Amino acid sequence: MVDKPLTSRGAATRDRIIEIATREFAQHGIAGARIERIVADARTNKAQLYGYFGNKEALFDAIFNASLDRIVDAVPIGDDLADWAVRLYDDYLRRPDLVRLATWSRLERRPTGDLLPDADHRHDHKLRAIAEGQDAGRIRPGDPFDVMTLVISMSMAWSPVSNVFAAHADEPEEAHERRRRLLRDSVHRAVMVAS
């Protein structure tokens, strides 16, 4: 991303580009997203978009990185991994774009391994929290990365890209509450140590 001081008008344009591009990439992926649609809907032009972000790939990276940072801030990990899984489930309902962006990244860029080449720094605090819970006897022993991956995977069971069933926010609240209870209990049984 190109760093430029922004006027309030420039910041508003940049924010519109990010909002529109997030929807475009989430719906169409990296290859299918069209800069023409983004600039038309954002009421700007290609020169301005490229001035802010450099190119289409860099625009996707900026959006994807911001989405990952946002979920870390919005859904911080604690030592109750069952609660964390439920909070992740709720965040996927509120913002299904993150799961879609991650899926497109997996499909179009990195079929194996971590989604980002520099993902270690995003996982460090989560892995520390899990290791501390293991040391305290609250979380089952095992590789903290594998425990984290299992919990995240369980939280995504009804995500927008589920191979079985994709939940959506406007379903009856009873359905969400039923899933939250099942998820909480399942994660608790899988990774938490009974007290």
Residues 141-183 pLDDT 10s: 999 999 999 999 999 999 888 878 888 889 999 999 999 999 9
Q: Is 174 found in the same domain as 92?
A: yes
Same domain flag for 41 and 93: no
What single string gives the DSSP state of each residue in the chain?
A: -------HHHHHHHHHHHHHHHHHHHHHHHHH--HHHHHHHTT--HHHHHHHHSSHHHHHHHHHHHHHHHHHHHS---S-HHHHHHHHHHHHHH-THHHHHHHHHHHHT-SSS-SSTTTHHHHHHHHHHHHHHHHTTSB-SS-HHHHHHHHHHHHTTTSTT-SS----TTS-HHHHHHHHHHHHHHHHHHHBPP-
22 occurs within a structural domain = yes
| Overall number of domains in the chain | 2
Would the pLDDT of 194 be above 60?
A: yes
Instruction: Assess if residue 70 is contained within a domain.
Output: no
50 and 125 both lie in a single domain? no
Residue range 84-137, pLDDT digits in tens: 999 999 999 988 888 899 888 888 886 666 655 565 567 788 999 999 999 999
What's the pLDDT at 45? Answer: 94
Say whether both 178 and 127 belong to one domain: yes
| pLDDT band, residue 1 (cuts 50/70/90) | very low
Residues 51 and 81 placed together within one structural domain of the fold = no
* pLDDT tens digits, one per residue of 16-62: 999 999 999 999 999 999 999 999 999 999 999 999 999 999 999 99
Residue 168: give the domain boundaries: 75-195
